[in-house]
Chain A
Amino acid sequence: MIQIEHLYKSFDGKPVLRDVSLEIRDGETLAIIGRSGSGKSVLMKHVIGLLTPTSGRVQVDGTDINEIPYRRLREVRRQFGVLFQGGALFDSMNAFENIAFPLRTFTDMEEAAIRDEVYECLRLVELPDVGPKRTAELSGGMQKRVALARAIALRPRYIIYDEPTSGLDPETSNAIDDLIRALTDEMNVTSIVVTHDMHSVLSIADRAALLHRGHLHWVGTIDELHASDDEVLCAFVKANEYQIGVPQRV
């Protein structure tokens, strides 16, 4: 379980997050939505201690991650898979090596087993043949999917996705949404999905949290979201024009 308590963050005196409290329960998929610049990526980076709060606490399974020594923090981080907004693939390696990197670094797996695992991950993101390609040779959307494959390679307990479907065509987006849902169901993963895309939110999330100008403006389940008449939330949802074919959860 991840608990964010009264988190404030400012950069050079400029406030970005203001009193954000949020709980991410085990096994759930929480969507963090909000307009560009509202602080979603900043919030996500606090969860794994890449940014330290100006004040407030972040707890992972009951441990305040800003109170523990670096060595322990690294152990906590190993339970996470993180997909960064820009992919953040290592450009000194090709796609295969990127995905193999966490396996080679943190497991004692044989090279043959690593190979199988990498190709399984690539198959999951529907890119079976890009292994030998360098990062620069991949399109933006392909980079994102290779990065997703890298994030799930170690089968983490928590996965954080920063805009997993932005910049992807609708069909691939759906495939990624399916993958996220499958990972959550099969492996009991706890997921945080940062997104603009209401279509994704409705098809994968159990709950949604709306960040608005650094405040946590609204939190609730998808049913509550449908029923809500909150002005900011409605404006955000409307702007997404999700009315055109609301996906039904099965």
Chain B
Amino acid sequence: MASLSLTLTKPLRNVGLYVLLMVKAFASLGEFRLYRKNLFKQMVRVGIDSIPIVALAAAFSGAVTTVQTAYQLVSPFIPKRIIGSIVAPSLILELGAVVTGFILAGRIGARFAAELGTMRVTEQIDALEAMGLNSIGYLIVPRVLAGVVMFPVLYVVACFVGITGGIGVAHFGGYLEAGEFVAGAREFFQPFDPVFGLIKSVVFGFAITSISCYKGYYTGGGAEGVGRATTDAAVLSCVYILVADLLLAIVLL
């Protein structure tokens, strides 16, 4: 009986704990002096250090989408530049943000959870608190802020590199001329598309970093607990990216 009520209330308690942690983090935003140095460090790690792998994944996504779209549009009645009109918005609306999100979930989500989890089980977080330091402001605020600020930057990089990858494979693979691709992309360009992508980026950046910080901050149970927190953080980040992606599409498009 006790265990049943525990299994039923546990998810609710987790949500409550997560919300409370985020409220405390927001309340600490004013203590800029506390996290200034860490913010810079985390922005480099989340943003700058992720550029190569994000760019690589985006380039391949753009290229593959282009080849597949070309394969599907074999009819001689459809102008080839339509390939550009399909590939570019796909990247701007969906792939740029989602591919970046999955990469950061693995790279940053796992890392944050492992770092904070280790600090928790080795009492380093207790040591910070015991000194009279606000550990949430010191550890979590700079990480989440770095995610919210740097994810959109990575998104922009992903879109540019992705479209370039698409143009490259179109041109050199002999599917269509670079000029045609660009003309097609411009023809159906909607100014709201990148805005939507940027909104998504901010939401994804917040989701990944806040979930993984939450998992790490409340780790229990030694090295095994840290391992569990790390996998949970990566998996949950991916799940919430998909959920947020759908919700944002329904609400905003």
Contacts and interface: CB of A to CB of B under 8 A. Distances in A.
B49 interface: no
Nearest to A77: B132
Nearest to A41: B123
Nearest to B27: A70
A48 B122 CA distance: 18
B134 interface: yes
Nearest to B33: A105
B219 to A, nearest CB: 15
B130 A48 contact: yes
Contacts of A78: 131-132
A80 B129 CA distance: 11
A50 B132 contact: no
Contacts of A105: 131, 133
A80 B124 contact: no
B123 A88 contact: yes
Contacts of A45: 126
Given A50-B129, A84-B127, A74 B134 contact: yes
A140 interface: no
Interface in B64-121: 118-119
Contact of A77 (B119, B122, B129): B129
A75 interface: yes
A88 B134 contact: no
Interface in A61-94: 70, 74-78, 80, 82, 84-86, 88-91
Contacts of A84: 123, 126-127, 130
Nearest to A73: B132
Interface in B110-161: 118-119, 122-124, 126-127, 129-134
A50 B133 contact: no
Contact of B131 (A77, A85, A91): A77
A86 B132 contact: no
A86 B131 CA distance: 16
Contacts of B134: 70, 74
A88 B122 CA distance: 6
A75 B126 contact: no
B163 to A, nearest CB: 38
B123 A77 contact: no
A53 interface: no
A86 B130 CA distance: 14
A84 B125 CA distance: 11
A141 interface: no
A91 B133 contact: no
B123, B129, B131 interface centre (most CB from chain A within 10 Å): B131
A90 B124 contact: yes
B131 A50 contact: no
A82 B127 contact: yes
A42 B51 CA distance: 45
A86 B123 contact: yes
B27 to A, nearest CB: 9
B130 A80 contact: yes
B122 A50 contact: no
A102 B138 CA distance: 13
Contacts of B118: 91
Contacts of A70: 134
Given A45-B126, A89-B127, A90-B124, 14 more contacts: A50-B129, A50-B130, A70-B134, A76-B132, A77-B132, A78-B131, A78-B132, A80-B132, A82-B127, A84-B127, A88-B126, A91-B124, A106-B131, A106-B132
8 contacts: A45-B126, A50-B130, A80-B130, A80-B132, A84-B127, A85-B123, A90-B119, A102-B131
Closest 5 CB pairs of A and B: A78-B132, A77-B132, A88-B127, A88-B123, A82-B130
